[in-house]
Structure formats: C-alpha cells, structure tokens
Amino acid sequence: MVQSVTTQKSKQQLTKNVLSLTVVQIATYVMPLISVPIISRIIGPEKYGIINFAAALITYFTLIISYSFDFSATRKLAKSPDDAALRNQIFSEVFFTQCLLFGISTAAFAVLLFTVEDFKANQTVLIFSYTLCISLLFTQNWLYQAMQDLSKVALFNLISRLMFTASIILVIRQNDDYIWQPLLIGLSQTIVALLSFFWAIRRYKLKFVHMPLRRCAQVLWEEKTIFLSLIFVNLYSSTNTVILGFFQSQEQVGYYTAGQRLIIIAQSVLAMPLAQAFYPFIGKAFGEGRQQGLHVVQKLVPLIILFLGTASIAMFVLGPFVITLFYGPQFEAAIPVFRILAIVPLLFSLNNVFGIQIMLNLGMDTQFFKISVAAAFVSIFLNLVLIRQWGYIGTTFNWLATELFILISMCTVLIRKGINPFNREYFRLSAMSEYVQPMIKRFQHVKVNQ
C-alpha cells in the first residue's frame, strides 16, 4: 500500500514537472516570438543574421561553462536526492567548477575578440551576447531536475520573459538598434538565474563546501566523456551557422537562422519538456533494473513518433504561412529551410531517447561519445562541401542528414547490444490509448491539487 502511494506521488510529480518544463520552454522560446514580427521587419535579414551568428559563436562558451552538468550532476543527485550532505557536495562542485570555466572562457573570448577580423567588425554584438555566459554561473537547472521540482523555475522564466519581450519591443525602433537584442536577452537570463539560485539555496538549505582547485580539476576529468560528446553534438548544430557565416553573406545566415530558429522553438516546446522531465524518471526506472527502464522507454517511443510525426507534417504544410507571418515577405527565402527541417524535432526527440535516456542511463557513455564524434566529422565535411555550392540550403540539408546519421547509428549500436527500443505491441492504438489515459488523469489530478 505504501509503495502504491509512493508510486502515485512519483507519477504526479512527473506530470507536474512536464507541465512546468513546458512553461519554461514556452517562456524561453515562444514569448520572444511575440516581438519577432516587429523586430524582423525593422532590422531585416542581414542584421538578423549578425545577431544569430554571434549567438551561435557564444554557444561554444556556454557549452564550456555548462560542462554537461545538466546530465552528469542530475544523474549523481537523482539517485539520492534527499541526502543533504551529497546535495551540498554536488552543488559546490558544480558552482565552483563553473566559476573556473567562466574565467577560462572569458580570457579566451577576449583574445578572439581582438585577434579575429570577422569578430572585430561586430565587437559590440559579441560582447553583449557574451552576457548570457554570466547567467550560467547561477543557473542550477540540474538541481531542479534531480529534485523533480521545476514549477518555481517556470514561474521565474515566465516573469522574466514577459519583461524581456516588453523591453525589446520598446527599445528596438530602427535598424541600428539590433545590437541591444543580445544584451536584453543576457540581462533577462541573468535575472532569472539569480532568482532561481538564491531560491534554491533557501529551498534546499544548501551550504557551500570548500572546493579546492584540485577537486574542480577532478570533476572536469570525471565528467569529460559526456562533455566532449556535447561539444561534438554542437559541431553539427551551432557550427552550421558559424561556418555559413564565414563562407556566405550575413543575409544568407539570416535566412537560414530564421527557419532554423522556428524549428528549434518547435523542438524545444514539443520535445524538450518531455526529455528533461523523463531523464530522472527513466533513470530511476533503469536503477530498478535494465528491463524496467527499457519497458518505460518502449512505451514512450510510439507516442513520440505519433505526436511529433503529426506535428512535423503540420509544420511542413504550414511552412510558408508561418515564415511570412513571423518574419514578413522579406524572409520568404527562409521557407525551404523550415520545410526541409520540419522532421528534425521528431529525429531529435528519438535521438534524445536513444542517446540520453538509454545510453547514458546504462553507462554507455563511450558509445554515445563515439557516435557524437562521428556525427561531428560527417557534419563538418558535408558543410564544407554543400555550403560552397548551395549556400544556406546546403547547410539545411546538412543538419537533416546529420540527424538521420545519428538515429541510424544509435539504433544499430543498441540493437547490437541486445537493446531494442522498439516494441510492436506498444505501437497499437489501443496500447497507446491505455498508456495515455492514465497520464491525462494524472494531469487533471495535479491540476486540481494545484
């Protein structure tokens, strides 16, 4: 009886986390879209390409500072979230290690800023974009994921994004005002991070533990595999924009990133809340046994294919309308980008399940790393070949091809290891209905309790 009540509470918490993460993703990606129809018409494709080129470049530094703690630290704490001593230890390790990484990143950024000619031309935009890195020092989303407590973060993000959206509409009035967008984004993210940071300290009674430099170095070494995997994952995502910016005009970058940004938003709103909420949940299931974890994943995969597959078809059909609505007729060249990439949210979600949910939970970090490395090299090679001949359309096909390569590679590795993420029984509509109905009831129950 006690176990049944505990299981029910766990499922209710999972549903609440999915809802909270959906709010986070809406606040992060959808709220700014309120301002896009206005801003894009003011700054045009070229200036839009400049700010997105800067954002893609800054992604490298955010990856270094984040250092995969959203996965590695979550995995550590999720096993014993109620252990106060362990919580303080991991919290201190993450914070002080990120401070070290921030110092290194800032020094490297300063050197690049004054030595690379293409960066000198857009110094102000790059510096303003770098303010986003400050927020990462205080962003402790890994902690909330491990504690399965994300509702407050959702609230902080929503309030901050409302302020950001209002301020950016008021500030950007003419073409040259585009430089203020990255600064406002960085400031809003920092405000959210500080609020969530101090709330976490109070909520979980966190205390800083002395962390010598040697221990920070050990943490970096221990978590290097997942970090390097994420670095290589980035080589076939943000690097597309950077390489395109070096070989083609900023206007082409604007067309590509206009379509890409909407795909990322769809991906984040539709797929990421489920992925982030299910990571500790599935991790716990794998902790109870390999078959138990695999059983949960096999139930999830058909739902992902049905839901995101339908969404992909809808995005392909509505592509011309969506691009024109958000960006205006001057971004019409971005329509092919959006339609070609319409299936990417589905591929990304499946790759997340196979890679993050299965491989990392089963300790297959090395296999995950090798696939990420291979995908990075495939992506860079295709980029260099396709961009020169087809410009931003070549970049678009490169992203699609890379996601397909990852999906096929992960399926092949898992099946060879005797791990089949697919189960025909769960692809029946009746089986999916049996699994969805309890989730809807839990959703309604949580909503009433709130």
Please write the tens of the pLDDT for every residue from 229-245. 777 766 666 778 888 88
- Which of the residue ranges 71-80, 129-138, 230-239 has the most confident prediction, judged by mean pLDDT? 129-138
Rg value, the chain, Cα? 22
Sequence-ordered list of residues with C-beta below 8 angstroms from that of 7, at least 6 positions apart, any chain = none
Q: Is 172 left (phi over 0), alpha (psi -120 to 50) or beta?
A: beta
CB atoms within 10 A of CB 39: 22
CB count, 10 Å around CB of 336?
18
Tokens at residue 24, please?
A: 């986070």
Rounded-to-5 percentages of helix, strand, coil across the chain: 90, 0, 10
263-306 pLDDT per residue, tens: 887 887 776 666 655 665 666 677 677 777 777 777 778 878 88
Q: Supply the mean pLDDT for the chain.
A: 79
CA 280 to chain centre: 16
Predicted pLDDT of residue 444: 44
The b-or-e profile of 72-109 (16+ CB within 10 A means b, else e) is: bbbbbbbeebeeeeebbbbbbbbbbbbebbbeebeeeb
Rounded Cα–Cα distance for residues 260 and 342 (Å): 10
**pLDDT tens, position by position, 101-118:** 999 999 999 998 888 877
Q: Read off the pLDDT band of 166 (50, 70, 90).
A: confident
Over residues 53-65, mean pLDDT: 87
pLDDT digits (tens, 9 = 90+) for 313-329: 999 999 899 898 888 88
| Nearest alpha-carbon partner for 130 in 177, 64, 186 | 186
pLDDT at 97: 92
Q: Where is 291: in which H helix or E strand?
A: helix 290-327
Tokens at 437, concatenated: 């109905």
Q: How far apart are CA 164 and CA 156, in angstroms?
A: 12
Predicted confidence at residue 352, as pLDDT, reads 84
Does pTM surpass 0.85? no
Q: What is the C-alpha to C-alpha distance for residues 285 and 314, in angstroms, rounded to an integer?
A: 34
The confidence score (pLDDT) of residue 439 equals 47
pLDDT at residue number 41: 77
